[in-house]
């Protein structure tokens, strides 16, 4: 074999060999410092550029178990999960059927009354099904609780499965039941580990689409499982009619690589950081506990000194030749054996750098999991503008998370619900079974969840009114944004209430007039605590002006006459 030599020319590197018929051209290196290997700080950093499968699947069991341990034992991790859960799911997600009227009108000739009837009947039937434990195969949770469990499981573990089951029981509205499966049980059977179509329990076709899932019959972490008794059940992803049978809900906020098969825990990037913060906090706490103890030691000439509390042997019955173990106590007086000395450590009190250092780490953690520092520690000490910006950013991230919960879980389940309800004749939906486009039109809905907390409700109300007055938003959008309710239902309820007030002899118009004309009481402070000119804060003046615009531009809202 002849030895090759490298010939460097400007712009190109040529590897040539004696008598070689042609030379091989290699593109020159680029201009990115991050790709250089001759820098001291990058010389030992050579990560492997693996695929989405090879990079994630092998690490998933460790990431999942460590994330769960942090949620169980680290207050910061537990608080972060609760904050995200409250922001994404809250007390539960509300589903309102909203058919696509144009499609149903053109393709099926449905009238407005028929579509209104379908939405009303679907909403009532959905409420009856999801507001009972009949939607759960274990008959222990309602749909709101199932939705919260689906999200927290995917957020903590990376992914999970939802299997469609049918089990007709007395008292149930529908036979549709949901079975939740933890991601641990999704794995490859031991006799199929060499099948290239199966990736960590997910069977895929040539295009990468899921064909089915291997679900272990017993959780692999079950302590009482006998070795050699692990069994799996194959669950097809789709039924004979092409409808979805199994939902694979993945944490898309943590894993978005092309070709990824499994999801990753949200705490994955901060596992090391969280564990070190927890250890640091515990060590600091223990150091201060020890520093707070004070013990007096008295040497005695007696051969057998007695001890009571304080620095005392943990086990006084141990043999004399064995080594003693001692403990400190609060304000103890200890008599020691003759000839024994004690050396005391004098740790200082709480360090001044503990709080700023941990806060800096918490800001990095919040940036990684899309929870700003103020929400992560649930402490708002900044100005109104800074706090409001943090809340808005967090709820934008929460809406993204709610989006994949809606797409991967709520929407398919609602379609399962419509399939059975329409098939049983409980809902009248012409063309649902025959036309896929019509089916999608019937399956449309609006999902509302927790809204961003209002740090200043009057400011928020004034902003909503200004957006509607400028035709930038609608009553329905503002209601969903500020309260999470349904404006159509609210309007009907308000008309009913106003009529009941009139029937009771109360004057609604007089109360509205008092709101329009009542002067604002002067104050000495503005929003930031500074004295305002003439004692009239600009903030309250803006609020009053917004309310006057509201009643002046839409006076009918003051009475809401039916």
If you search the block for the tokens 């969840």, which residue do you land on? 449
* Residue 24 confidence (pLDDT) above 80: no
Phi/psi of residue 548, nearest 5 degrees:
-70, -40
pLDDT of residue 35: 85
Regarding predicted confidence, which is higher, 347 or 559?
347
* Residue 110 confidence (pLDDT) above 80: yes
- As a whole number of angstroms, the distance between CA 76 and CA 275 comes to 10
pLDDT of residue 302: 57
Q: Which tens digits make up the pLDDT trace of 487-503?
A: 777 787 788 878 888 77
pLDDT of residue 213: 97
pLDDT of residue 386: 83
Name every residue whose Cβ is closer than 8 Å to that of residue 149 and which is 6 or more positions away in sequence. Answer: 141, 180
List Cα–Cα distances, 39 to 31, 47, 91, 271, in angstroms: 13, 15, 53, 29
Confidence of residue 512 (pLDDT cuts 50, 70, 90): low
Query: What is the per-residue DSSP string for 443-475?
Result: T-EEEE------SSHHHHHHHHHHHHHTTSS-H
* Residue 524 confidence (pLDDT) above 50: no
pLDDT of residue 497: 79
As beta bridge partners, residue 336 has 299
As beta bridge partners, residue 212 has 203, 236
For 346-357, letters b (16+ CB in 10 Å) and e give eeeeeeeeeeee
CA angle centred on 68, ends 192 and 55, rounded to 5°: 45
Regarding predicted confidence, which is higher, 454 or 98?
98
**Beta carbons of 216 and 185 less than 8 angstroms apart:** yes
Confidence of residue 233 (pLDDT cuts 50, 70, 90): very high
Residue 141: alpha-carbon gap to chain centroid: 20
Most confident of 328-332, 430-434, 476-480: 430-434
Residues in the chain: 562
* Residue 295 confidence (pLDDT) above 90: no
518 lies in some domain: yes
428 lies in some domain: no
229 lies in some domain: no
336 lies in some domain: no
State how many domains the chain has. 2
* Residue 485 confidence (pLDDT) above 90: no
11 lies in some domain: yes
**Beta carbons of 184 and 263 less than 8 angstroms apart:** no
Confidence of residue 44 (pLDDT cuts 50, 70, 90): confident
Q: What is the pTM of this model?
A: 0.75
Q: Can you state the angle between helices 457-469 and 475-482, rounded to 10 degrees?
A: 160
* Residue 267 confidence (pLDDT) above 80: yes
pLDDT of residue 551: 46
- As a whole number of angstroms, the distance between CA 561 and CA 502 comes to 10
pLDDT of residue 45: 87
Name every residue whose Cβ is closer than 8 Å to that of residue 84 and which is 6 or more positions away in sequence. Answer: 155, 266, 369, 371, 398, 401
Query: What is the per-residue DSSP string for 484-499?
Result: ---HHHHHHHHHHHHH
**Beta carbons of 180 and 160 less than 8 angstroms apart:** yes
Structure tokens at 18: 């004696």
Q: Which tens digits make up the pLDDT trace of 125-160?
A: 999 999 999 999 999 999 999 999 999 999 999 999
Regarding predicted confidence, which is higher, 465 or 85?
85
* Residue 436 confidence (pLDDT) above 80: yes
The arithmetic mean of pLDDT across residues 455-462, rounded, is 75
pLDDT of residue 329: 67
Burial class (CB in 10 A: 0-12, 13-18, 19+), 340: exposed
Nearest CA to 148 out of 481, 445, 418, 449 is that of 449
The single-letter DSSP state of residue 521 is P
443 lies in some domain: no
329 lies in some domain: no
- As a whole number of angstroms, the distance between CA 310 and CA 332 comes to 5
Q: Which domain holds residue 555?
A: 456-562
pLDDT of residue 535: 42
Q: Which tens digits make up the pLDDT trace of 167-181?
A: 998 889 999 999 999
488 lies in some domain: yes
- As a whole number of angstroms, the distance between CA 562 and CA 557 comes to 11
């Amino acid at each position: 074999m002849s030895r090759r030599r490298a010939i460097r020319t400007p712009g190109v590197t040529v590897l040539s060999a004696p008598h070689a018929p042609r030379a091989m051209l290699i593109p020159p290196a680029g201009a990115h410092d991050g790709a250089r290997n001759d820098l001291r700080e990058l010389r030992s950093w050579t990560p492997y550029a693996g695929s989405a499968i090879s990079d994630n699947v092998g690490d998933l069991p460790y990431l999942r178990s460590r994330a769960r341990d942090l949620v169980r034992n680290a207050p910061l991790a537990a608080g972060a999960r609760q904050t995200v859960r409250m922001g994404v799911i809250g007390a539960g997600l509300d589903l309102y059927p909203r058919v696509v009227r144009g499609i149903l009108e053109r393709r099926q000739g449905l009238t407005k009354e028929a579509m209104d009837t379908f939405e009303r009947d679907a909403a009532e039937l959905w409420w009856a099904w999801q507001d009972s434990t009949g939607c759960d195969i274990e008959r222990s949770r309602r749909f709101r609780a199932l939705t919260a469990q689906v999200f927290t499981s995917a957020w903590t573990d990376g992914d999970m499965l939802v299997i469609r089951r049918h089990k007709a029981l007395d008292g149930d509205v529908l036979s549709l039941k949901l079975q939740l499966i933890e991601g641990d049980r999704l794995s490859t059977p031991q006799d199929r580990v060499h099948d290239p179509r199966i990736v960590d329990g997910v069977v895929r076709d040539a295009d990468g689409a899921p064909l089915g899932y291997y679900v272990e019959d017993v959780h692999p972490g079950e302590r009482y499982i006998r070795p050699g008794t692990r069994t799996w059940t194959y669950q097809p992803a789709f039924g004979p009619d092409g409808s979805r049978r199994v939902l694979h809900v993945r944490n898309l906020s943590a894993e978005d690589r092309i070709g990824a098969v499994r999801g990753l825990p949200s705490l994955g990037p901060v596992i090391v950081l969280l564990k070190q913060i927890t250890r640091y906090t515990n060590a600091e706490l223990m150091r201060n506990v020890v520093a707070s103890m004070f013990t007096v030691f008295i040497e005695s000439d007696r051969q057998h000194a007695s001890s009571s509390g304080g620095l005392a042997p943990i086990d006084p019955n141990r043999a004399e030749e064995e080594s003693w173990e001692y403990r400190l106590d609060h304000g103890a007086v200890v008599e020691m054996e003759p000839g024994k000395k004690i050396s005391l450590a004098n740790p200082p009190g709480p360090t001044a750098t503990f709080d700023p250092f941990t806060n800096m780490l918490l800001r990095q953690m919040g940036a990684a999991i899309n929870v700003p520092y103020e929400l992560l520690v649930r402490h708002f000490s900044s100005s109104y503008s800074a706090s409001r910006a943090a809340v808005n950013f967090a709820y934008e991230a929460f809406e993204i998370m709610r989006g994949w919960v809606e797409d991967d879980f709520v929407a398919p389940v609602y379609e399962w619900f419509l399939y059975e309800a329409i098939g049983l004749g409980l809902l009248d939906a012409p063309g649902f079974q025959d036309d896929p486009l019509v089916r999608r039109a019937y399956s449309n809905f609006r999902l509302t969840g927790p809204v961003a907390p209002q740090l200043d409700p009057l400011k928020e109300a004034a902003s909503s009114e200004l957006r509607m007055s400028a035709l930038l938003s609608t009553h329905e959008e503002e209601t969903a944004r500020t309260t999470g309710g349904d404006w159509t239902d609210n309007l009907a309820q308000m008309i009913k209430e106003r009529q009941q007030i009139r029937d009771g002899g109360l004057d609604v118009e007089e109360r509205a007039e008092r709101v329009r004309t009542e002067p604002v009481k002067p104050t000495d402070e503005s929003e930031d605590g500074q004295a305002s000119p003439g004692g009239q804060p600009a903030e309250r003046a803006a609020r009053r002006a917004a309310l006057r615009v509201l009643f002046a531009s839409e006076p009918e809202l003051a009475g809401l006459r039916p």
